[in-house]
Amino acid sequence: MQVLLIEDDIDLAATISEYLAARGVDCDHAYDGLSGLHIATTSSPDVIILDVGLPGLSGFELCAKLRREAKLGLPILMLTARDALEDKVEGFGKGADDYVVKPFALAELYLRVQALTRRSQGRSSHRINVADLSMDLDTRSAKRNGVELELSRLEFDLLAALCAASPDVLPKETLARRVWHEDYVEDETIRTHIYQLRQKVDKPFGLPLIHTIRGVGHAVNVSNA
C-alpha cells in the first residue's frame, strides 16, 4: 500500500510514517499544499492523508483541486483538529472520503486507511452490477434493465453503498457513515430515503432488489425476491 501524507507538522508526520511503515505501508511526505498537489498528480498513491491547516494551499482547497482539476478518484482522508460540524460538511463537500479529528489513535488511522483502500480497490472497475441494475461511479449514472434511473445525489450514494456491499446487509450505522457521513442518522430518515429509492429502482420493474431486514439493516440482492 502506498500512502501520500500531506502534513506540515514534521513530528506528527514522522510518527504517522513510522507507525505505517512498521505495518508494511510505504509513505511519501509533503509538508505544504503545493508540494502535496505535485506529488499527488505525479505519483500513484493508494490513499492520501491530508491535513487541513497547510501552508500555501489549505487542505480544503487542495482536496477540491485534486477532485475538480486533477480529477483524481483515489481515497482522501482528512486529518484535522477542526471538529465542528460545518468543517466536516465542508471537507466532505470538497471531496473527502473520511475525516479524522486530532488527537487520534494511530491504530484507528491505520484501520481507516485500510478500509478506504479496500473500498477503492473493490470499485476499481468504476462499475457495479447487481442483476439487471448497473451503476457507473464515474458518470454517476444508474440503469435498470437498460432504463436510465433519475436519482438525486443522495439516492445515488445510498444505492451505490448498498450495491457495493451486495449481497450483504448494511446496518443503519454503516449507511449513516457511508452515505450521510455522520455517526448517527434517524431511523425515519433512512426509511424514508429507502422508500423513495424503491419507487425508482423497484416499483417500475418486476424483480425487487432493495430489501429491509428488520432489526438488521438494508441490502440490494435477488435472494429475498
**Cβ atoms of 31 and 56 closer than 8 Å:** no
Q: Which three cell numbers stand for residue 138?
A: 464515474
Q: Which three cell numbers stand for residue 202?
A: 423497484
In tens, the pLDDT along 91-132 reads: 888 888 899 988 889 998 998 898 888 776 654 446 788 889
Q: Give 3-state DSSP helix, strand, coil % of the chain, rounded to 5.
A: 45, 20, 35
Q: Which three cell numbers stand for residue 151?
A: 436519482
Q: Give the pLDDT band (50/70/90) at residue 164.
A: confident
In tens, the pLDDT along 146-158 reads: 899 999 989 999 9
Positive or negative: CA dihedral 32, 38, 39, 44 = positive
pTM of the model: 0.55
Q: Which is it for strands 26-30 and 2-6: parallel, antiparallel or unpaired?
A: parallel
**Cβ atoms of 110 and 102 closer than 8 Å:** no
Pairwise CA distance, residues 13 & 72, whole Å: 23
